[in-house]
Amino acid sequence: MVVETQYYVLLSAAMFSIGVFGLLTRRNALRFLMSVELMLNAANINLVAFSAQWGNMTGQTFSLFVLALAAAEVAVGIGIILVLFRNFRDVDVTEPATMRW
């Protein structure tokens, strides 16, 4: 059974929107990181879906790269969050607001 491409796209759009919603409404840094992961993987679903539709392997290869990138990003993100916690005893992202002019 072949699933139509538009369902994949719909799923991806839904995941992306959930990710954006989480990014805009949550204050916990860990949730931020999860939201970002959701958005990245929404993009991955798109890549794989279109790759399957056109029978072209480039998109799937690309999604592997994105996964690797996401892993690296999480490593950096967790590091930042650790420092954040050490400094503020909290992982609330609205708390540190001094990094501006």
Q: Residues interacting with other proteins, by CB under 8 A?
A: 20, 23-24, 27, 32, 93-94, 96-101
User: Token pair 């204050």 is at which residue?
Assistant: 27
For other proteins, which is the closer residue by CB, 68 or 83? Answer: 83
For other proteins, which is the closer residue by CB, 6 or 94? Answer: 94
For other proteins, which is the closer residue by CB, 3 or 27? Answer: 27
- Residue 31 CB partners (closer than 8 Å, separation 6+): 22
User: Token pair 């879906």 is at which residue?
Assistant: 49
CB of 21 to other proteins, least distance (A): 10
CB of 82 to other proteins, least distance (A): 16
- Distance of alpha carbon 65 from alpha carbon 59, whole angstroms: 10
CB of 4 to other proteins, least distance (A): 22
- Residue 98 CB partners (closer than 8 Å, separation 6+): none
CB of 84 to other proteins, least distance (A): 10
Which amino acid, residue 10? L
